[in-house]
Structure 1
Amino acid sequence: MSTVNVWVVSADTRSERRIDPHISVEQLKNKLELITGVPVANQAISILSSLEDRSVVATLDDNLRPVGYYGLRDWHVLKVDDTNPSTSWTGQLTDVTQTDKFELSQEEYANRTDTVLAYKQKNKVGRFAPKSETEEVATAQVDIPIGSRCEVESTEPGLSKRGRVQFVGPTKFGTGGGVWVGVEYDEPMGKNDGSVNGERYFTCRPNFGAFVRPNKIKVGDYPVEELDLDEEEI
């Protein structure tokens, strides 16, 4: 067995990875620091049965042993806990319990005259603009199946933004109308959770969702990328 497919989860991340079971626990920790943000010295790694069954199969407690010694197999979960979160940012980026937020109901927002919404309504911009027959034809011509794997065009050289198509169609945001494609990325490289301005188009984890125009996306056999941080598999 050369590699196994596993889930790697931490307080702030969750992703699919391919692991070489012959590497040591110490080597694994060095790789996972760059993925989870948990420092090597703080990592406590457990193997769970699956995402649904969180029973502990083993604890990776010997840095010198190979990962395969602990019985790691396909679709096990590598759960990475931070034993000293006070020295890192672990969990702090997703914990909003200590943040004071200004809240405004949708009705209160809609009644204000100094908002972006009011401007768009007055000037017939975006979703308030009259829809043309051209836009309706363009919607019908988009052939991007929901559920298909895809790769989204990136402005950063060498960066692949892969994921799965979760939505295709018109939206209430954006100017010019037309079709948008909702993508759930494999990594947290998005801007939302499948909803925009209170309108939900699909559901995914925060910062894993994004909406792009059809010409920015390629549909095909784009597998989840392997963890290849120093030109070797883990």
Structure 2
Amino acid sequence: MSGVVNVFVISPDTHSERRIDPHLTVEALKGKLESITGIPVSNQSLTLLASESDPRVVAHLSDDSKKLGFYGIADWQVIKVVDTDPSTSFTGQLTDVSQVYKFEITDSEYAKRQDSVLAYKQRNKVGRFADKPAEEETATSEDIPAGARCEVESTEPGLKKRGTVRFFGQTKFGKGTWVGVEYDEPFGKNDGSVQGERYFSCRQNYGVFVRPDKLKVGDFPPEELNLEDDEEM
């Protein structure tokens, strides 16, 4: 799609990269941001920032009738979504664990328990305690080249974990071949390094390492907002 810009959308509970059409009105954008941020349209206050590293305010998107291009929206700027009435939408409470009671037990005490999930896995050889079959690796760096777009398997229905291949080969943290992926969104577990060893570089929580059979290489563009009208008149 021509004319779209790549921006970051941030809110108290979310952070993602999106492709947005500058011809979209602020009102239409708010409607699409509700499903991403969980903040009702009526509660949204939008601010355009210079970049992730430069939080200067470029514009306040205060006129719902104006198109985003009116405010000069450009690649890699940040749309900050603020909830003006979080008491009605629980915004921010998803990341506030200060009021959550935590039952704590030491690792040694947990290991002694016979009614734990750990004990069950050990008895039944589940997960990391399972007998490991000989690995049959047929994928090569030519099949999964650095820079290729890919999609990683997900157990959540409808969730597409897409990114770019950044590494293919042996590692110090595990036997066999691993593929390092930089996700488009913060679905990952690291920044391209594991146990002090760096294999590639990306932002924290955007990096992940998976086995070659857990991803597909192909034409997987970044997920973007649905810019078409929901209904045709």
| TM-score using structure 1 length | 0.71
What displacement does 1:51 show? Answer: 0.7
1:25 is aligned to: 26
> What runs of 5+ residues in structure 2 fail to find an aligned partner?
none
2:222 to 210, 216, 224: 224
Q: Which moved more, 1:21-30 or 1:42-51?
A: 21-30
Asked whether the equivalents of residues 180 and 211 of structure 1 are also in contact (C-alpha less than 8 Å), the reply is yes
After superposition, what is the alpha-carbon deviation per residue over 1:86-133, rounded to whole angstroms, capped at 9, x for unaligned?
11132121211111111222233233333233344456554345655x
Q: Which amino acid aligns with 2:217?
A: V
Matches within 5 A, 1:46-125: 46-121=47-122, 125=126
Cα distance in 1 between the residues matched to 2:57 and 2:99: 31
1:163 is aligned to: 163
1:194 is aligned to: 189
Q: 1:121 to 1:181 in 2, by over 3 A?
A: farther
Q: 1:152 to 1:76 in 2, by over 3 A?
A: same
Cα distance in 2 between the residues matched to 1:218 and 1:164: 11
What displacement does 1:80 show? Answer: 0.4
Asked whether the equivalents of residues 25 and 67 of structure 1 are also in contact (C-alpha less than 8 Å), the reply is yes
> What runs of 5+ residues in structure 1 fail to find an aligned partner?
none
Cα distance in 1 between the residues matched to 2:178 and 2:55: 37
1:12 is aligned to: 13
After superposition, what is the alpha-carbon deviation per residue over 1:64-93, rounded to whole angstroms, capped at 9, x for unaligned?
222122221111000000000111132121
Q: 1:102 to 1:156 in 2, by over 3 A?
A: closer
Cα distance in 2 between the residues matched to 1:111 and 1:153: 35
Cα distance in 2 between the residues matched to 1:17 and 1:130: 42
Asked whether the equivalents of residues 139 and 212 of structure 2 are also in contact (C-alpha less than 8 Å), the reply is no
Q: Which amino acid aligns with 2:150?
A: C
Q: Which amino acid aligns with 1:56?
A: V
Partner secondary structure for residue 35 of structure 1: helix
Q: 1:10 to 1:149 in 2, by over 3 A?
A: same
What displacement does 1:20 show? Answer: 1.7
Q: 1:109 to 1:40 in 2, by over 3 A?
A: same
Asked whether the equivalents of residues 162 and 220 of structure 2 are also in contact (C-alpha less than 8 Å), the reply is yes
Asked whether the equivalents of residues 184 and 204 of structure 1 are also in contact (C-alpha less than 8 Å), the reply is no
What displacement does 1:160 show? Answer: 3.7
1:2 is aligned to: 3
What displacement does 1:180 show? Answer: 7.1
Q: 1:90 to 1:100 in 2, by over 3 A?
A: same
Cα distance in 1 between the residues matched to 2:17 and 2:34: 15
Q: 1:82 to 1:219 in 2, by over 3 A?
A: same
Asked whether the equivalents of residues 182 and 194 of structure 1 are also in contact (C-alpha less than 8 Å), the reply is no
After superposition, what is the alpha-carbon deviation per residue over 1:165-203, rounded to whole angstroms, capped at 9, x for unaligned?
578779x9xxxx977767665457x6xx528xxx98998
Partner secondary structure for residue 97 of structure 1: coil
Cα distance in 2 between the residues matched to 1:166 and 1:108: 40
Cα distance in 1 between the residues matched to 2:156 and 2:65: 37
Cα distance in 1 between the residues matched to 2:225 and 2:23: 15
Matches within 5 A, 1:121-140: 121=122, 125-129=126-130, 131=132, 134-135=134-135, 138=136
Partner secondary structure for residue 54 of structure 2: coil
